Amino acid sequence: MKKTWVFFIGTLLLMAIVCCSGFAAAKTKMVVWTYMEGQTQIDTLNWMFKTYNESQSESEIVLQYVPFADFKKQLSVGMVAGKLPDLVVIDNPDHAAYAQMGLFADLTKYIAKWPERKAYFPGPWKSTTLNGKNYGIPFTSNCLALFYNQEMLKKAGVTPPQTWSQLRVAAKKLTSPGVFGLGMAAVKSEEGTFQYLPWLLSSGAKIDQLGSKQSIQSLTVLADLVKDGSMPKEVINWTQADVEKQFAAGKLAMMVNGPWNIPEVKRDAPGLKWSVVKIPRDKVYSSVLGGENLGVVNGKNVAAAWKFLQFVGSPKLVKEYSVRFNMFPPRQDVAGDKTWSEDPVMSVFMDQMKYAMPRGPHPKWPEISNAMITALQEVLTQAKTPEQAAKDAQTKVDAVLK
């Protein structure tokens, strides 16, 4: 009898130790890959994951940063090696391509039972689909506008330009030793294509008309800005984060950038007086619809990852993280909040959003995108004339779309 009691008490102690150690309640660890950079974005992601991790006891989300320039390469390498995360924050035009490759799990059966799906804007929602199936949910939405240094423009007697011809004149007048009139990101990646598209679309050309007269004009206006010294030739290596640093340092009088960099400007140059206007137009005002989606990687944790997506997609979380990111909510019900409609800067971006066009979705968007940024780099470096660069880009896109 004595031995039985000793065994019983010992078993209870062992159970208590196991429970207290957390072993029995170990969470499923899930890794999220993201290229989102900048302290504000990293802080917001960490806040979001911490909030989710503390809200339930089944899983733990962990952030893993991968530089944008290496992101697609790492996804491709991971697919071959079988070393992938559980979730991916992906640039929305790339979502269809990676769904086509089998990276993302088909979430159609989950989303069909999720009533919140009806609250999303059609454009961002469409970017998560392929052939009628759902492969994720929209995460953030944004577009581009023109930031300008108010004191520099006032000193030069320049008003914010509204047309391409006004921009050429303004950028030239604002250029002085150590200061360029305009800066943009033209790095050879999707980031560079993202910045070039407003110029292409404003000319009246479409993405399958890269060899057109209008497309040539869009390449010419940017090449001329570099030729006359109003825009630095180094833009071919600049990311949007790099452009923000140059603007905040007073080395650019104007820059093309997105709302996610507003907190960075405020942090880097708290005394700087600046504002935003729509990107100067040729035929029509134009911008590009940017943003990220959340996709679940095909693997053993699809069901657990879908629970995280539902949490992130709630209206309360969408509003909170959109405010922190300085981006626009992908949900129509949240977008009506005065947070965006009554802010003097964000309201300009909201107005610009009316002219923002999506990239794709197309399974071969990365190839189309590469043709465009290659053409832009060729004219900015004067390796080719705008006519030749546009002609070569058209040949590449025709081969992709045939």
Within the chain, what is the greatest distance between any pair of CA atoms? 99
Identify residue 326 by its one-letter amino acid code: N
Residue 115 buriedness (CB in 10 A; 0-12 / 13-18 / 19+): exposed
pTM of the model: 0.77
Phi then psi for 89, rounded to 5 degrees?
-90, 110
Find out whether the peptide bond into 263 is cis, omega within 30 degrees of 0: no
For residues 244 and 265, what is the distance between their CA atoms, to the nearest angstrom? Answer: 7
Contact 211, 390 (CB under 8 A): yes
Cα torsion 358, 360, 361, 367: sign? negative
Bin 159: left if φ > 0, else alpha if -120 < ψ < 50, else beta: beta
Using the predicted structure, report yes or no on whether residue 353 has a pLDDT greater than 90.
no
Alpha helices, DSSP H, located in 269-364: 302-312, 315-325, 332-335, 338-341, 346-353
What are the pLDDT digits (tens) for 241-289?
A: 999 999 999 999 999 999 989 989 999 999 999 999 999 999 999 888 8
Cα torsion 254, 255, 259, 263: sign? negative
Please state the rounded mean pLDDT for residues 233-243.
96
Phi then psi for 8, rounded to 5 degrees?
-65, -45
Domains of the chain: 30-142+290-358 (3.40.190.10), 145-289+363-401 (3.40.190.10)
Residue 26 pLDDT class (50, 70, 90 cuts) = confident
Identify residue 318 by its one-letter amino acid code: V
Which two structure tokens, joined as six digits, stand for 402?
A: 């045939």
- Polymer length of the chain: 402
What are the pLDDT digits (tens) for 75-127?
A: 999 999 999 999 999 998 889 999 999 999 999 999 999 999 999 988 789 88
Cα torsion 125, 129, 131, 135: sign? negative
Q: Under DSSP, is residue 315 helix (H, G, I), strand (E, B) or coil?
A: helix
Top-confidence residue, 16 or 158: 158
For residues 228 and 11, what is the distance between their CA atoms, to the nearest angstrom? Answer: 82
Task: Give the pLDDT of residue 20.
Answer: 47
Residue 22 pLDDT class (50, 70, 90 cuts) = very low
Identify residue 283 by its one-letter amino acid code: K
Phi then psi for 357, rounded to 5 degrees?
-105, 145
